[in-house]
Amino acid sequence: MARESRTGGPLGWYFRTSLFTRILLGLVLGAAVGIALSHFPGGAEAFVSRGQFFGDVFIRLLRMIVVPVVFFSLITGTASITPSLIGRTGGKTFLYYFATSAIAVAIGLAVALLFRPGEGMDVVGVAGAKGELAQPPPFGQVVLNVIPTNPFESLASGDILPIIFFALAVGIGLSALRDSKNETLARQANVFYDFCAAAAEIVYRMVGGVMQYAPIGVFFLIATVFARQGSQAIGPLAYVALTFYVGLLLHLVIGYGGLLTLFGLNFVKFLRGAREPMVAAFVTRSSSGTLPLTVRASEERLGVPRTIGSFVLPIGATVNMDGTAIYIMVCAVFIGFATGMPLDGGQMLTLAATAVLAAIGTAGVPGAGALMLIMALESVGLKVAAGSAVAATYALVLGIDTLLDMGRSCMNVTGDIAGVAIVAKSEKMLDLSKWK
């Protein structure tokens, strides 16, 4: 009892236990309760109708955060780049980010279509309803729709692509103004920048708060799915994780291995030099958190000069997320199959474009990619509405998000390090003695 009062009353144990353990517990208990209930159809229905509320709370909390996260973190991220730095090095860096994102998306799609996770799963929503595709517009229209005619309307209705477009534009304008020779303008721009940076920070705090509810939300969402599906849901879940990890491995070898070799750099030596931050990212699930290690390893082990590292790596940790792009492709295809609404060619193209943008908008913190998956799904008409089959399947992947987040964070950081080495090599500034 004495211990309990020291740690904040009856719920002390909850907050004392690591979030990772609690989510895992939510997942396992949810699956166990759901499977047990699936043997009693009457009980399962009663549970589903009552438990729905607690699952919906979680879905709504997540949805609440998506727009502010994307909006404020993109403005701050873009505005942090000084225009004078975006010269040749910047150009090369972005070319590398774009090329590797394209490779990541292609590999993600290829493995997803090859392995076809979720096919034949037939998840139903809380009301017993199967998925219903909200009609996505044709691809050409999607491209046009990226440009908002009224950004405030897009913000209000949560249209994520136009929001990203607008936030990038605001960020670029802001970045120029912060460097203005006119002191008043520069001061005003910095006030706005500070406001956005603080807002982004506040929203990240909120993400942390929402995640405290995640174990409960995951429990109810998973239990609901398993109560309906029985134990059949376990197999597909393991299968989607396998598909994703195969995608990551292919990207590591073909994407980074290929590019490094193309630039005359030894892939094995690269892995040896990058292994510390790679492991750290895997364990912490945060590219931003790993940044200090990434900078050090690039400098000390791979011979990247500080001038290049300190510019390329922080941007990379914010915008370069190939692991997240692969995750979005694999999981979206999985959810399409599992809800009986497999994606068609046009949707896959839209998804690919969204995955690249979503990866840019993903913050380098644990779980951020899972929020981006919501917006990627919505861009192809798979709406994560409370009680829907899509929300139920989304909850399934969310249940194993920790496992997936480890892989994608590791890949995100690896991509940053490969990028900085390649850019430094192409600028003839890499200390090649470290690669001997």
Contact residues toward ligand ASP (CB under 6 A) are 285-287, 321, 324, 362, 364-369, 405, 408-409, 412
**Closest-CB residue for ligand ASP?**
369
The Cα 127–Cα 52 span in angstroms is 10
Q: How far is the CB of 298 from ligand ASP (least distance, A)?
A: 17
DSSP string, 226-284: HHHHGGGGHHHHHHHHHHHHHHHHHIIIIIIIHHHHHTT--HHHHHHHHHHHHHHHHHH
In the bound state with ligand ASP, the residue whose beta carbon lies nearer, of 11 and 283, is: 283
The Cα 21–Cα 7 span in angstroms is 18
In the bound state with ligand ASP, the residue whose beta carbon lies nearer, of 223 and 420, is: 420
Contact present, 244 and 311 (Cβ < 8 Å): no
Q: How far is the CB of 359 from ligand ASP (least distance, A)?
A: 8
Closest CA to 423 of 97, 176, 149: 97
User: What contacts 187, CB < 8 A, 6 or more positions away?
Assistant: none
Q: How far is the CB of 243 from ligand ASP (least distance, A)?
A: 17
Contact present, 366 and 286 (Cβ < 8 Å): yes
Which is it for the CA torsion 139, 143, 146, 147, positive or negative?
Answer: negative
Radius of gyration, alpha carbons of the chain? 22
Closest CA to 320 of 360, 361, 375, 280: 360
Q: How far is the CB of 408 from ligand ASP (least distance, A)?
A: 5
In the bound state with ligand ASP, the residue whose beta carbon lies nearer, of 167 and 365, is: 365
In the bound state with ligand ASP, the residue whose beta carbon lies nearer, of 220 and 282, is: 282
In the bound state with ligand ASP, the residue whose beta carbon lies nearer, of 229 and 320, is: 320
Q: How far is the CB of 283 from ligand ASP (least distance, A)?
A: 12
In the bound state with ligand ASP, the residue whose beta carbon lies nearer, of 81 and 358, is: 358
In the bound state with ligand ASP, the residue whose beta carbon lies nearer, of 325 and 421, is: 325
Q: How far is CA 162 from CA 49, 351, 353, 361, in A?
A: 36, 15, 13, 12
Q: How far is the CB of 67 from ligand ASP (least distance, A)?
A: 17
Q: How far is the CB of 411 from ligand ASP (least distance, A)?
A: 8
